[in-house]
Structure 1
């Protein structure tokens, strides 16, 4: 495990850190010297991932279980010190036409994508403010900056995350804490590949055609590499971005300008 670097001694917590974008972020923070706690729902997977990437530790919790989530954060702080960098990456997307989207689906999307961010921020902000420094980076989505068909609940939740980010940035502007969001487009993760496989099974379409349809609004016409998102997060968490707060940074090949 790296022990020196620009983030040496700055305890980072990455939710949803066992796969995809969250895993890429955790790896980059570790490479920069941060002791990282990765949080996931599955304890076995979280422990295994933490060991494989050289994380300082792991925590297991469902981010929609407020009490369990807070308990996991407190346990991580007891083991590795207060949270200096919080990356709210855990999220989920469900699709359905709006008129077929049940209230329960809206509740689920707001619970996992928005309320979990509220829980984590309320848990760690007092310590950051007391320390006079801290970085919160919320992994939102281009869905937090524009509309998409058939994912209205997800779009609404991610727009709320961006709004929350801006409000917290103003409230913490004089405390040494910054609050920002990164907004990836469709990224080359196992979740997206699994979605492509399901579409292919249902429709018989070729993988390349399905991906081309996904990225049709991306001027670069490609899936985003998770490491590109991780680069943005690491920059926002660094000292050089201390004047950057309340921003929603699109990592999407020019899809949102």
Structure 2
């Protein structure tokens, strides 16, 4: 079900990173259905091609540009922004959805793993936002949503690296929001709990292994423990992102919107 109009983002160019992951994939589809021209990026060319095909089968007139990029590399970030703006014009909507999970308990955590998670989940969104913000600031228009996590709001077992990166991302969201709003650019974050994506399922599987449960048993346990009784879908997160990007949220600034099925109340 959608409550959105098909022309909310007409004339807007949105860049969605991590579009080969579940949340980014659905976000790109939602934004094009709302009229946006969209650049999608990720490391898996076959998934990007599938996403582009899915969008154009549902929205035959949608303008979609696909760019394979490893955002950990500065040169790829530069290529991405240049290609996107050459083909679809200035970027006025940015969704920083790319990221990784992982890590371990502190006594087993290596510096390489810690630095990789922090780089991809924290440094990369900052540096990409910095590039795109220049044009948003010049045009006095824009909206950015960072895909964070409930793990950016409270600690989890064996979560030092991932949790730390998401706490940092939420801190960036708030600090940048204070700077950007002076130029009519809004910055917010979404903080989902477990989402039914590949990354979410991997997290549930690892937790199940620690607690000697099968994936199916742990998935059922996590669902049952939520007040809503179920884990969020990627589409639900995508809808929240779209709302935050839209003018309907024009006085929502620097927020970390929880999508938890009610779990933060317990």
Per the normalisation by structure 1, the TM-score is: 0.91
How far off is 1:256 after superposition? 2.6
Aligned equivalent of 1:17: 19
How far off is 1:125 after superposition? 0.3
SS of residue in 1 equivalent to 2:119: helix
Aligned equivalent of 2:257: 249
Aligned equivalent of 1:110: 118
Work out the CA distance in 1 between the residues paired with 2:177 and 2:208: 42
Q: Cα 1:219–1:203, aligned 2, differ >3 Å: closer, same or farther?
A: closer
Segment of structure 1 superposing worse, 34-43 or 161-170? 34-43
The structure 2 residue matched to 1:60, chosen from 62, 68, 77, is: 68
Aligned equivalent of 2:41: 39
Correspondence list, 1:84-99, <5 A: 84-99=92-107
The structure 2 residue matched to 1:181, chosen from 180, 189, 193, is: 189
The structure 1 residue matched to 2:157, chosen from 149, 153, 157, is: 149
- Structure 1: gaps (5+ residues): none
Q: Cα 1:162–1:202, aligned 2, differ >3 Å: closer, same or farther?
A: closer
Q: How many residues align?
A: 254
Q: Cα 1:202–1:219, aligned 2, differ >3 Å: closer, same or farther?
A: closer
Work out the CA distance in 2 between the residues paired with 1:64 and 1:168: 21
How far off is 1:119 after superposition? 1.5
How far off is 1:202 after superposition? 9.6
Work out the CA distance in 2 between the residues paired with 1:110 and 1:194: 19
Aligned equivalent of 1:227: 235
SS of residue in 2 equivalent to 1:187: coil
Work out the CA distance in 2 between the residues paired with 1:157 and 1:19: 18
Work out the CA distance in 1 between the residues paired with 2:203 and 2:173: 29
Q: Cα 1:194–1:105, aligned 2, differ >3 Å: closer, same or farther?
A: closer
SS of residue in 2 equivalent to 1:86: strand
Work out the CA distance in 2 between the residues paired with 1:256 and 1:199: 19
Work out the CA distance in 2 between the residues paired with 1:217 and 1:184: 16
SS of residue in 1 equivalent to 2:78: helix
> How well do the aligned residues superpose, as a CA RMSD in angstroms?
2.1
Instruction: Say whether residues 1:160 and 2:162 are aligned partners.
Output: no
Per the normalisation by structure 2, the TM-score is: 0.88
Work out the CA distance in 2 between the residues paired with 1:201 and 1:189: 18
Instruction: Say whether residues 1:7 and 2:9 are aligned partners.
Output: yes
- Structure 2: gaps (5+ residues): 1-5, 57-62
Work out the CA distance in 1 between the residues paired with 2:254 and 2:223: 27
